[in-house]
Amino acid sequence: MAQPLVKKDDDRDDEADYSPFLGIEKGAVLQEARVFNDPQLDARRCSQVITKLLYLLNQGETFTKVEATEVFFAVTKLFQSRDIGLRRMVYLMIKELSPSADEVIIVTSSLMKDMNSKTDMYRANAIRVLCRITDGTLLTQIERYLKQAIVDKNPVVASAALVSGIHLLQTNPEIVKRWSNEVQEAVQSRAALVQFHALALLHQIRQNDRLAVSKLVTSLTRGTVRSPLAQCLLIRYTSQVIRESGNISQTGDRPFYDYLESCLRHKAEMVIFEAAKAITELSGVTNRELTPAITVLQLFLSSSKPVLRFAAVRTLNKVAMTHPMAVTNCNIDMESLISDPNRSIATLAITTLLKTGNESSVDRLMKQITNFMSDIADEFKIVVVEAIRSLCLKFPLKYRSLMNFLSNILREEGGFEYKKAIVDSIVILIRDIPDAKESGLLHLCEFIEDCEFTYLSTQILHFLGIEGPKTSDPSKYIRYIYNRVHLENATVRASAVSTLAKFGALVDSLKPRIFILLRRCLFDSDDEVRDRATLYLNTLEGDGSIVETDEEVKDFLFGSLEVPLANLETSLKNYEPSEEPFDINSVPKEIKSQPLAEKKAPGKKQTGLGAPPSGPPSTVDAYDKLLSSIPEFSSFGNLFKSSPPVELTEAETEYAVNVVKHIFDGHVVFQYNCTNTIPEQLLENVTVLVDASEAEDFNEVASKPLRALPYDTPGQTFVAFEKPEGVSAVGKFSNMLRFIVKEVDPSTGEADEDGVEDEYQLEDLEVVAADYMLKVLVSNFRNAWESMDPDSEQVDEYGLGPRENLTEAVNAVISLLGMQPCEGSEVVPNNSRSHTCLLSGVYMGNVKVLVRLSFGIDSSKEVAMKLAVRSDDISISSAIHDIVASG
């Protein structure tokens, strides 16, 4: 019985993959378009050709001016056909071609004739097309017809006129505002769509007048709106008025809130949900005011419609973040949703329950969660893990069941970020709940037996060395640690040796056993492992060569290193064996520039919008620590981003200089990394003179010179600029290196006392828009896009001019925006005429941004691009468009 079912599914897959437009070429379709000129028109054939042309246009195919004109004139000949279906296709084609002003005149008479036709379908579509292609001059000529159409008895015609008014309001607001009387009359229409479109247009006409909007809402909330769609709009406008007027929880008459509450008893489900959602999103709302909204959402949880269940549980999930107690009455209903076939609903139900659950429900909840964890993506699992961690800290007596759950899912399949979230949660629970320490450490020990991530293994071993010796029976962890010495790579083996030494330092009874194990490590194949074993044996055996007391041993093993590792490495390489031992106090504590070059680790993928910025985490932390240690810059706040080094000199010149741009909310700091490549010279009082005449928004506020720059010893000088806070200011900076040069005697290495002031011209430096964007990868772009507020979306089209191919255009836009390509969409297939690229990032101010780019290239290699942006802040969406428009 199984075989026919499999075959049937395969057939369906084949059908789903088949496209009637597969392989069509623009040239061939343009040849087919000649049928428009036939004396005897074939309506069906003409419709098929127009369908192909529309498909090409919507796939990003661009027509040259000549091609578009020829197609336009050919399409206008189809007005002679009386076929209604073909006429509708003609309307669509004219809208897509967007003819020029000269060409519009050709088709205007035909469209105006259709606008006054007795066929309502002709009238409605003619209005839409005319308003799409017309300019202000022609609009005044047809304004009388549009006003009549708004109050037309046919709802299709009236809606067409109203929707056209909404579009025209963006380009010809003064004309549309004169239609207020007709639009107000349309608001009273009995047709649902007409009332919906009329209300939308009337609100847009008055949106800049807060008092007028308030009066409109006041008049309509008295019961004149019948359309459920219009009612949903009115609920949103009412919420807007409440937000602008202040707190809702005031005594006396509250007509707006009472209207929202009355909508909870509406017949239409969409109105009920919209009202409930609006009430839950009001600022300052109390639990008493939330109760009626929560009640109807609770009823939706048991609905047979998945969309209602999803909408209700998502809204309750948001409410649980601010009013968890108000949602507790819904917990029983949400528990039933854990087994919902829709995994998005189940995930939202679980995370909500974890925020609102009580201590008695924890065990039951854990059993239900276990059944579905394997069916959801890692990004959802991380959310669940973080919610479980919060629940455990909330109810510490339940640590055993929650810790067992975390341990079980730790052994299952999963990516690095997911496993790291679990390990971090266990570590936090061990630190905050004393009773959980021993069981938690054992769970971590069992995990590293099969852990495939080196980073996690080393971090667990490090934590084990700190917490393990403090338990009642430290000896039980030694077996797990020593196994790492035999079964892991060199990095983990070296970390295991350090952990063994820490046990030996803190647990006297284990010292003999630790000595035996460390001596075995002296025969390891790796230098690092052998060196660590030798060092720790000499330290623990206490012969006085390294440390003298037990306190010094513990300080040596557990104390923090006070110098940067990069500087220590450089000093050790430069150290020449002599009678004088190496002195760690001679290592400079200021971070050198060369190790700070950001290098992108190949092959590493980051998951989630909260992923760290590109470059090693130590690099980001090092920059932050360096800048905060300089008094002139310590008041600038948090460092948002540091750019990769930009070379300001050519290779093999006397002085090598590169610059790192450090971006703060209200400042930009330039870190000039300088290297003197002339052995016979010493540079002193090194500064960079920066000319910001081409960067009007920047004002120099501080600088930090470099006192001395010996041969082949990198150093830094800094210049700080103030800019408007929160603004992505751009500009061009000229740079001149100024210094005092002193001759150095090669035989003695001593410099002359007198020096000469000199200058060296550097390349110009630019602060660009991409400097205010962090590259952050999202693992599932579609989910991230849909989770963003659709109202924040901004869409526009741009011409990118001639390009060699689409790859060049894609790379240019990615470079301009400075965002992270997702899902490999930066790769353009060979000879592709259209392409879609997905980008993500975090804009200055920690605003998440997602971008969807659609490219098309024509035969003359002209590239067109459609840009869609969603973000947490609609003003940032507009800013991204401004960047592209000015780039």
Q: What is the DSSP string of 694-721?
A: E-TT-EEEEEE-EEEE-BT--EEEEEEE
Specify the higher pLDDT residue, 240 or 583.
Answer: 240
pLDDT confidence of residue 885:
86
Other C-beta atoms closer than 10 Å to the C-beta of 570 total: 18
Q: Is the pLDDT of residue 267 over 50?
A: yes
pLDDT band at 602 (very low <50, low <70, confident <90, very high): very low
Residue 162, pLDDT score: 92
Please give the share of the chain, as a percent, with pLDDT higher than 90: 15
The chain-wide mean pLDDT, for the chain, equals 82
pLDDT of residue 555: 62
Provide the H-helix boundaries in 584-628: 617-628
* DSSP class per residue in 442-453: HHHHHHHTS---
pLDDT at residue 309 tops 90: yes
Name the most confidently modeled range: 464-473, 573-582, 825-834: 464-473
Matching residue, tokens 């400097």: 771
pLDDT score at 92 = 87
Cα 775 from Cα 373, distance rounded (Å) = 30
pLDDT more than 70, % of the chain = 89
Q: Region 630-642: what's the mean pLDDT?
A: 85
Averaged over 422-447, what is the pLDDT?
A: 87
pLDDT at res. 604: 33
The residue-averaged pLDDT of 454-459 equals 88
How far, rounded to the nearest angstrom, does the alpha carbon of residue 38 sit from its chain's CA centroid?
A: 53
Whole-angstrom Cα distance, residue 612 to residue 441?
27
Looking at residue 571, its pLDDT comes to 81
pLDDT for res 57: 86
Q: Are 716 and 593 in contact (CB under 8 A)?
A: yes
Average of per-residue pLDDT across 751-761:
86
Q: What's the farthest any 2 CA atoms get from each other in the chain?
A: 109
pLDDT in tens, 403-423: 888 888 888 888 888 888 889
Q: Which residues contact 241 (CB under 8 A, 6 or more apart)?
A: 213, 214, 217, 256
Q: Is the pLDDT of residue 64 over 80?
A: yes
pLDDT of residue 558: 59
The DSSP code for 841 is: E
- Give the pLDDT of residue 250: 47
pLDDT at 60 over 70: yes
Amino acid (1-letter code) at residue 274: E
Q: Please compute the mean of the pLDDT values over residues 783-803 and round it to a whole number.
A: 85
Q: Which pair of tokens denotes residue 620? A: 């980001």
Segment 546-575 shows an average pLDDT of 66
Instruction: List all residues 6 or more positions away from 17 whose beta carbon is below 8 Å from its beta carbon.
Output: none
Least confident range from 35-49, 366-380, 566-580, 869-883: namely 366-380
Contact 849, 869 (CB under 8 A): yes
Q: What span, in angstroms and rounded, lies between the C-alpha atoms of 120 and 236?
A: 32
The two beta strands, 731-743 and 681-694, are antiparallel
Contact 229, 196 (CB under 8 A): yes
What whole-number distance in Å separates Cα of residue 458 and Cα of residue 420?
12
What does the block give as tokens for 746? Answer: 């090669």
| Confidence band, pLDDT 50/70/90 cuts, at residue 671 | very high
Is residue 4 predicted with pLDDT exceeding 50? no
In this predicted structure, the answer to whether residue 463 has a pLDDT above a threshold of 90 is no
Q: Helix, strand, or coil here: 758? A: strand
Q: pLDDT grade, residue 561 (50/70/90)?
A: low
Q: Report yes or no on whether pTM surpasses 0.75.
A: no
- The mean pLDDT value for 460-484 works out to 87
What's residue 687's pLDDT?
Answer: 92
Cβ contact 745:709 at 8 Å: no
pLDDT tens column, 672-698: 999 888 888 888 899 999 998 888 889
Q: Average pLDDT for residues 258-284, to the nearest whole number?
A: 89
H helix intervals, 246-397: 255-263, 269-280, 287-301, 306-322, 324-327, 331-336, 343-356, 362-370, 378-394
State the pLDDT at residue 563.
59
Orientation angle between helical segments 287-301 and 306-322, nearest 10 degrees? 150
Cα 182 from chain centre: 44
Is the model's pLDDT at 734 over the cut of 50? yes
Any residues with CB less than 8 A from the CB of 115 and at least 6 apart, and which? 122, 123, 126, 127, 130, 142, 145, 149
**280-306: per-residue pLDDT in tens?**
888 778 888 888 999 999 999 988 999
pLDDT for res 616? 39
End-to-end CA distance of the chain: 62
Amino acid present at 690 = V
What is the Cα–Cα distance from 687 to 716, expressed in whole angstroms? 9
Q: How confident is the model at residue 591 (pLDDT cuts 50, 70, 90)?
A: very low
